[in-house]
């Protein structure tokens, strides 16, 4: 099952009314100087951003709190060791953990106090395990 299908099946699923356009996704990648994974591109084209199962996933949207661009820029300032190829996909409000993904789709967790830790091989796996 794909990440998009998995999100849609959750009883608490909520998304933006429309997804991001290809042009907006390319502009976001250029602004951050990185490439998004195919999984993240598919997700943000479909939803823009979404929440499900207690997770609030960032996306290519204008709302600063939910914007992958805005939150990645903030995370880079707060976590100096963060690889520039990582982009934020979720901000965990309770424990200050930021969840990142790289262009290969691997998912990591980090905070200003903790080292970067691999959490999953994909957003789909991350949603199932966390």
pLDDT in tens, 75-122: 999 888 899 999 999 987 666 789 999 999 999 998 777 789 999 999
- The C-alpha atoms of residue 54 and residue 81 are separated, in whole angstroms, by 28
pLDDT tens per residue, range 26-44: 999 999 999 999 999 999 9
Residues with Cβ within 8 Å of residue 82, at least 6 apart in sequence: 75, 76, 100, 110, 116
Q: Give, rounded to a whole angstrom, the gap between the first and last alpha carbons of the chain.
A: 17
What values do phi and psi take at 57, rounded to 5? -90, 135
Strands 98-101 and 107-110 turn out to be antiparallel
Report d(CA 41, CA 35) in Å as an integer.
Answer: 9
Q: What is the pTM assigned to this prediction?
A: 0.90
Q: What is the pLDDT of residues 53-70, one digit of tens each?
A: 888 999 999 989 999 999
Identify the pLDDT of residue 93.
Answer: 65
* pLDDT tier at 1, thresholds 50, 70, 90: low
């Amino acid at each position: 099952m794909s990440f998009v299908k998995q999100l849609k099946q959750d009883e608490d699923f909520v998304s933006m009314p429309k997804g991001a356009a290809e042009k907006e996704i390319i502009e976001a990648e250029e602004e951050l100087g990185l490439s998004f994974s195919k999984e993240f591109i598919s997700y943000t084209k479909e939803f823009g951003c979404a929440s499900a199962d207690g997770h609030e996933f960032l996306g290519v949207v204008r709302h600063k709190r939910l914007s992958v661009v805005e939150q990645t820029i903030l995370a880079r300032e707060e976590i100096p060791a963060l690889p520039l190829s990582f982009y934020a996909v979720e901000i965990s409000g309770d424990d200050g953990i930021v969840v990142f993904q790289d262009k290969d789709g691997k998912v990591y967790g980090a905070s200003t106090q903790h080292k970067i830790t691999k959490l999953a091989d994909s957003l789909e796996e991350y949603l199932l395990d966390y």
